[in-house]
Chain A
């Protein structure tokens, strides 16, 4: 659905939906402590709200098992809080965050070893997009929304399909996804998300100065981005995950009907049910040998 006209606002009004990574497996081994992280992030939220009276910040926590809304600056409770904004925001947000973390832990169950301890990014992305759709359809005047992922957890290949669907949905609604990755390696999902939707991706070098990175890059409103020198995408990892095992692959088989990706030859597509013809597979097994040879 095309976004409702938002041009009636002054150019630099922002609506930012922030996805906050609260995955305890990541935070327990991170060099930056969660409380230090929060102090940078809360000041950043306050800065966004200071920039313009009409700016809005919505925070969704990305947990290990679940996601939930933990803060909305435009809600009735928070609405008239120009006076003493920071104390009110901090207490409200932190309380909700604590409640969420307790609930998230209760969902935990026995898991096979070796599973990558990723956070439920697909869930929070979907929630963010639903919130944004509601804003579009409310008919009220609204600033153009964007999503900001503050993520440290590694990518979970089993979420590949859901995340790609969310990314394309965001792209279709013209919602940029910014991403700030504070984990150890790289996140291919986040790089792809920002690249495809026209957002900004950055991995800060020095986490002590996280606030400065947030202010310089991620506080930029959508209008000013065409004038400012922001980090450009360099070497985006476009590798896909196969639908059958959720492994990351460089080369594979694709169903010509629904474009599902498989690492091994199958008789039938598991997504759309199309039958892959016998003749194809015979031809395939001959050239399989060629394809299976890894190209280094």
Chain B
């Protein structure tokens, strides 16, 4: 089966593909410089900081002196990334190419390091806002919103409430994750299954990437949206920020972000505000390769019984994809991985890499309809029959000593003709 990998960490590729002028505007914002710095591979980050206070262009050779022979491939990856993000400018001289940090980026990052960045948005004073949710309440809210969204994404019937996303928007999210055959309910594809197994931040970036790609068609500037999201990740979790500090397109985006669990919207008597959750402030952590940090809570026994300590509807749905859920207790889902449930999963396109258990069983016994030939009167007839079968690609097995063979059913009639002809 083809390996389809969901590319969720390519948000920075999207940033890199923005036109140069737009990227230059983005780099005026200190926080965006920091977010972009954080998204780079480790060597690239080092090079940026080393070159931060060097005003003269550096030759390719002097850059190479920084790295040992072992690291030359990583070195090249880092340099390429820096050029791709337009952080490093290439100055082609006749003798050799030299590199310099992009002045906008350099100036703003210097300022950020020496003075520290201050956001343009201040949290609202506590006497104006009503009782703010505690960090635990906020976490629970974010988690619930996100799960609800995912549930709606993979099986619209299951969600308790529908989000404010239009059905066309949901279809765009579902593209590649779900497959719909005529008159059938939409089913999860292999990519969809992989998507569900990714950690929350990676899933979030995938959805946001689709959202932003689609925004151009709605007439909203991609660069503005990207800048807003990157800045959002630097806000303080749990603090209230007034909605009137947002531009129009940012305000439209905020409602969608609330549905995803990135912010919580609240209103008081006169003011309305949004509160960033951990999902929002952790966005920049996942811009790079983030390893999954989920704690395991699923126990699978050697008799294929399965116990999942979760009360989440979403988890139950995911488990139902490849196992037979037997009963659900308030904090435990008990099921069994059976042949039938796995065949069902395979039919849905879930590959064996994900469920290795019965794949080998499926492949162990292969059945081909065949005919068994015995009691040949002479060796010559046997050999000619065997050659005949082989030529027609139908010989499955033969035993020359006993003069027996098995031939594919497809050519059985031909064999009969041949044998009759020989007699």
Contact = CB atoms under 8 A, between A and B. Distances in A.
A86 interface: yes
A227 B43 contact: yes
A83 B234 contact: yes
A211 B53 contact: yes
What size tier do the contact residues of chain B reach? 35 or more
Interface stretch (B66-74, B189-197, B219-227, B320-328): B66-74
Contact of B68 (A84, A216, A227): A227
A138 to B, nearest CB: 16
Given A51-B37, A227-B74, A86 B46 contact: no
B237 interface: yes
A80 B284 CA distance: 14
A43 B50 CA distance: 13
Nearest to A86: B116
B39 to A, nearest CB: 10
B1 to A, nearest CB: 30
A47 B67 CA distance: 21
Interface stretch (B204-212, B289-297, B299-307, B394-402): B289-297
A84 B117 contact: yes
B112 interface: yes
B67 A227 contact: yes
Contacts of A54: 285
Interface string B24-51: 0000000000100110001101100110
Given A10-B289, A10-B290, A82-B236, A50 B42 contact: no
Interface in A67-100: 80, 82-89
A229 B67 contact: yes
A53 B112 contact: no
A79 to B, nearest CB: 10
A249 interface: no
B116 A46 contact: yes
A275 interface: no
Nearest to A39: B114
A224 B49 CA distance: 14
A83 B118 contact: yes
A293 to B, nearest CB: 45
Contacts of B117: 83-86
Contacts of B290: 10
A12 to B, nearest CB: 4
Question: Interface size bucket, A side?
Answer: 35 or more
A8 interface: yes
A221 interface: yes
A4 B288 CA distance: 24
Interface in A211-226: 211-212, 215-216, 219-221, 223-224, 226
B264 interface: no
Contacts of B68: 226-229
A80 to B, nearest CB: 5
A35 to B, nearest CB: 15
A53 B42 contact: no
Given A228-B67, A228-B71, A50 B114 contact: no
B53 A212 contact: yes
A85 B49 CA distance: 18
Given A83-B234, A84-B118, A226 B46 contact: no
B171 to A, nearest CB: 34
B202 to A, nearest CB: 13
Contacts of B252: none
A52 interface: yes
Interface string B54-95: 000000000001111011001100000000000000000000
A53 B113 contact: no
Nearest to B109: A50
Given A52-B38, A54-B285, A215-B52, A47 B46 contact: no
B74 to A, nearest CB: 6
A8 B116 contact: no
Contacts of A250: none
A258 interface: no
A237 interface: no
Interface in A81-127: 82-89
Given A215-B49, A216-B50, A141 B113 contact: no
A84 B285 contact: no
B100 interface: no
Contacts of B236: 80, 82-83
B138 to A, nearest CB: 13
B113 A50 contact: yes
B118 A226 contact: no
Contacts of B34: 50
A219 B285 contact: no
Contact of A46 (B37, B65, B113): B113
A216 to B, nearest CB: 5
Nearest to A7: B291
5 contacts: A84-B117, A85-B117, A87-B116, A88-B116, A226-B68
Given A84-B116, A84-B117, 8 more contacts: A8-B293, A9-B291, A50-B38, A51-B38, A84-B118, A86-B113, A86-B114, A227-B43
Interface of B: 34, 37-38, 42-43, 45-46, 49-50, 52-53, 65-68, 70-71, 74-75, 112-119, 234-238, 281-282, 284-285, 288-291, 293
Interface of A: 8-12, 43, 46-47, 50-54, 80, 82-89, 141, 211-212, 215-216, 219-221, 223-224, 226-229
